[in-house]
Amino acid sequence: MTGKRAWSVLGLGALAAQAGHLLAYQVQFGAAAQQIQSSGAHAYFPGAVRAVLGLAAGLALTGMFVVGLARILSGRPIRRGSAPRYLQLVATLFTLQLLLFAAQEVAEALVAGAPAASVAHLLLWGTLGQLPVAVVAAAGLRWLLARFEPAVEEIRIALAAVPPPVAYTSVAAPALVHFECNLPLATVAGASLAKRGPPSFSRISSY
């Protein structure tokens, strides 16, 4: 996995971990989940979830915009490039999300002065909350990676084919210089013609 893809997986895992955290509490506490996640050491969580969902939506829309723009510029559908294997993405995202979930739960317990949950408890509820989110997130990320990188390459090719504005300047400059050089000649010629009077017929009349 390349560096850019690794950062994409890491960022998506951090975002998806919060969705999995929300799902785990919803399954564990039911209707009381929102009240628990809005009080005490969890008071930050509702605002964090809103920010995470907004950021995830913004990133998804940006990726889809790049793919759509590349299709418009190239005039053809974007070919699919190589993407990480789906099961590999699921495993990577799930592991990352589970680690973040456990670290977040332990940190919240330390802040509240309460004993941390057991490893079995964290594994059970972390798996129930994080695995479904990892399955969905891996499918979306794989679809986006298979099209985003070829789309960026198509945009580069389209921008490289646009002629630079310097070409127009180099063509217009000689014409402007030629016009400015001929302007004094035209002025002098116009002045000399203006000084001439009408033709004289005195010699014709003398005959």
> In the chain, pLDDT over 70 holds for what percent of residues?
72
Block residue for tokens 């964090």: 48
Residue range 47-63: average pLDDT?
75
Nearest C-alpha neighbor of 58 from the set 5, 6, 11? 11
Question: Where do the structural domains in the chain lie, given as residue ranges?
Answer: 3-161, 166-197
Please give the structure tokens belonging to residue 59: 């990133």
Q: What is the pTM of this model?
A: 0.64
SS (HEC) of the chain:
CCHHHHHHHHHHHHHHHHHHHHHHHHHHHHHHHHHHCCCHHHCCHHHHHHHHHHHHHHHHHHHHHHHHHHHHHHCCCCCCCCCCCHHHHHHHHHHHHHHHHHHHHHHHHHHHCCCCCCHHHHHHHHHHHHHHHHHHHHHHHHHHHHHHHHHHHHHHHHHHHCCCCHHHHHHHHHHHHHHHHHHHHHHHHHHHHHHCCCCCCHHHHHC
Dist. CA 9–CA 138, nearest whole Å? 9
Residue range 65-88: average pLDDT?
79
CB distance 137 to 16 below 8 Å: yes
Q: Which residue has the higher pLDDT, 52 or 166?
A: 52
Residue range 69-92: average pLDDT?
81
Phi, psi of 161 (to 5 degrees): -80, -15
Rounded to the nearest 5 degrees, what angle is found at the Cα of 195, between the Cα atoms of 192 and 196? 95
Q: Please give the span between the terminal C-alpha atoms of the chain, in angstroms, as a whole number.
A: 108
> In the chain, pLDDT over 90 holds for what percent of residues?
15
Dist. CA 34–CA 20, nearest whole Å? 14
pLDDT grade, residue 21 (50/70/90)? Answer: confident
